[in-house]
Homo-oligomer: A and B are copies of this chain.
Amino acid sequence: MSNEVNTDLLKERSTATFDAERLTEFIYKGPEKVKRKRQIQNIVLQDKFLQSFKPTEFYDRDGQYNNAVRRQIYIMDRLEELGFRSETDRLNFREAAAPVELSPFGLHSGMFVPTLERQGTPEQSRKWVPLGKSFKMIGTYAQTELGHGTFIRGLETTATFDPETQEFILDSPTLSSIKYWPGNVAKTVNHCLVMAQLYTQGKCHGTHLFLVQVRSMEDHTIMPGLEIGDIGPKLGFDGVDNGFMKFNKYRIPRMNMLMRYAKVLENGDYIKPKNAKLTYGAMVMVRVWIVMDAFKALSRATVIAVRYSAVRRQSELRPGGEEAQVIDYQTQQYKLFPLLATSYAFLLAAEGMSQIYAKISSDIERGNLEDMPQLHALACGLKAFCTWVGCEGIEVCRMSCGGHGYSHASGIPKIYANIVGACTYEGENTVMMLQTARYLSKSYFRGQRGESLPELIQYLTIDLNVKSTLGEDCSFESLVAAYSHRAARMVATACKLQNANKQKGMPSHDAWNKSTVPFIAATKAHCHLLYAVYGIVENMGEFMQDGYFNQDQISILNRKVLALLEDIRPNAVALVDAFDYPDHLLQSCLGRYDGQVYEALYENSKSSPLNNTDIHSSYYNYIRPMMQKRSKSKDISAKL
């Protein structure tokens, strides 16, 4: 590899009108933190073992899983040696050390141990948490079943209390009750927190969590009474052993039910939890993380696409001139610059969400549940919105790299494959949107009754007859007003349809279902407040159906969006540089900081496993015999 930076990229960087380093400091909250982040990333870069892995797509699933186990154990050991205390430091190390790989112990540390801590009794925690922390117990969390996902009440796995033996009998009574999808169940863990319907004294008390040993802690053999296996290959998460698990009247001690809130006594009496919603925080937290994941995924794709667009030259912009940087095509700018802006918007949204989450969850811990619906609605809506928009955007970035985007060497297919799962896991997106929609509907009707609304949704009560004051300057206030107006109008329209359906005599669940399409649109509009001019132009119909904008204002916006592309153009590369993702994190031949994309592609190709031999075995086994058979009868000279 040459050490030179591509001249187009050099020029982009020297002509930017702001200092990318200052923006990096803003993103990571100060120069000290940037420095620290880079130090940690450098430790990884200097680590020969960590740098010895080939690109993940060069391995098959077996090899990818094997690598994940091997590397993640090494990472855990190194983290202990390094002794980082800050979670940010640890995260930076893990991300740099394994940028596209999920840890087989991630659910152990992120879900299993914390849930034992939070939902076990003090005695249970004292007993199990040390076993978890010392990896005697390796665990995960098993909820989803073949026939049941987002709707937890529908789970079918049963845990029936047997007072005779003081045991619960775990059972999978139907095909659709088989646990299916839980991460790391297939090969890695020896314990599972299993969500099951609790039965005692002949009565069902809904879903509860049970600690279930699934493999021997001595020799890893599967416990008798269980059937466990890998569910098979997926779109992404190649190296993850998502598993299935079938219980055949499998017995566990009574004390393996997590009993901090609900309990089953020795005689089989069931004691209800005081507040059913207290276990709810973890789900919200995971959704906040997902918004951050969407930011990371989209921003990485954007870095790759923007840098490559500055390096790639294709076709003549001026007849007879040299081939142009593709970033100079207006159509390319219109694809990428709004996604660049979206990346920044997602970052701010994720950080805002985290702050709101921290505040509200400390309120909740003090017993103040008032803001929980608001937090829930916000987390559901943004989880769905950011994953949908982010995933679509990543594919746009990939295709904006032309044919090379289709190669794994671009790095983008893996980014997409991994994040797109988030559209359907941890709450399927449409279901999430509808939870937010319910909240908007309730809030709308409360507003109509004159009740006061939380700050984030006070806009639902604005006067919809007021028209836009947007002028040539497209002021920030006029844009916010437009988004508020549009969302408020669409929520009102959906609510009115819901009401009209009721008045036609539909039962209320039917009236709701038959207005959910407009509600989804309204909820997207509610989440869309992250945007500015582009969001209006792309969704013009929703903004103008009631005459909110006049003809002149529409023309202003259409002109403005094209003008903004030219404003951003000189700073596009600096704006992606500011994310400060080192090459070994991006894992992309196209997104390299030095822009030496063709050299990188060529070098990468040469090490593809299919190049281990010059002549593939299938030539000897199939092609040569076929050629011989076919040419035999025809006696054709081989000489050209």
Contacts and interface: CB of A to CB of B under 8 A. Distances in A.
A400 B257 CA distance: 35
Interface string A24-43: 00000000000000000000
A147 B609 contact: no
Interface string A404-430: 011111000100000011011100111
Contacts of A60: 60-61
A423 B407 CA distance: 14
A253 B73 CA distance: 59
B407 A220 contact: no
A288 interface: no
Contacts of A175: 598-599, 602
A130 B634 contact: yes
Interface in A195-240: 213, 217-218, 220-222, 229-236
Contact of A314 (B154, B217, B233, B624): B154
B235 A408 contact: yes
B403 A425 contact: yes
Interface string A523-562: 0000000000000000111111111000100100010011
A505 interface: no
Contact of A598 (B65, B176, B253): B176
Interface string A473-489: 00000000000000000
Contact of A66 (B176, B608, B614, B618): B618
Given A146-B601, A186-B610, A623-B69, A131 B636 contact: yes
Given A516-B329, A621-B70, A149 B314 contact: yes
A52 interface: no
Interface string A364-391: 0000000000000000000000000000
Interface string A284-322: 000000000000000000000000000011111111000
A516 B331 contact: yes
A76 B236 CA distance: 34
A220 B605 contact: no
Interface residues of A, number: 146
A317 to B, nearest CB: 6
B602 A315 contact: no
B542 A610 contact: no
Q: Is the interface of A mostly helix, strand, loop or mixed?
A: helix
Central interface residue in A312, A604, A626, by most chain B CB within 10 Å: A626
A488 B621 CA distance: 59
A247 interface: no
Nearest to A431: B315
B229 A605 contact: yes
Given A318-B509, A604-B232, A331 B621 contact: no
Interface in A602-640: 602, 604-611, 614-619, 621-624, 626-627, 630-631, 634, 636, 638, 640
B144 A403 contact: yes
A627 B551 CA distance: 70
A329 to B, nearest CB: 6
A518 to B, nearest CB: 8
Contacts of A244: 602, 605
Nearest to A566: B514
A280 interface: no
A147 B403 CA distance: 11
A623 B149 contact: no
Interface in A150-167: 150-151, 154
Interface string A490-518: 00000000000000000101100111111
A633 to B, nearest CB: 8
Contact of A623 (B73, B147, B611, B614): B73
A520 interface: yes
Contacts of A77: 626
Contacts of A606: 229
A412 to B, nearest CB: 8
A438 interface: no
A62 interface: yes
A316 B313 CA distance: 55
Contact of A614 (B221, B408, B507): B221
Identify the 7 closest CB pairs spanning chains A and B, nearest first: A540-B541, A541-B541, A232-B608, A60-B60, A230-B610, A69-B618, A235-B413
28 contacts: A60-B60, A60-B61, A62-B610, A69-B622, A127-B640, A134-B631, A138-B623, A138-B627, A146-B601, A146-B602, A149-B314, A150-B402, A175-B599, A175-B602, A218-B638, A220-B615, A230-B610, A231-B605, A232-B604, A233-B408, A236-B406, A256-B640, A330-B514, A331-B434, A405-B424, A514-B562, A517-B562, A518-B562
Interface of A: 57-58, 60-62, 65-66, 69-70, 73, 76-77, 127-128, 130-131, 134-136, 138, 144, 146-151, 154, 175-176, 178, 180-181, 186-188, 213, 217-218, 220-222, 229-236, 241, 244, 253, 256, 312-319, 323, 328-332, 334-335, 392, 395, 399, 402-403, 405-409, 413, 420-421, 423-425, 428-431, 434, 507, 509-510, 513-518, 520, 539-547, 551, 554, 558, 561-562, 565, 598-599, 601-602, 604-611, 614-619, 621-624, 626-627, 630-631, 634, 636, 638, 640
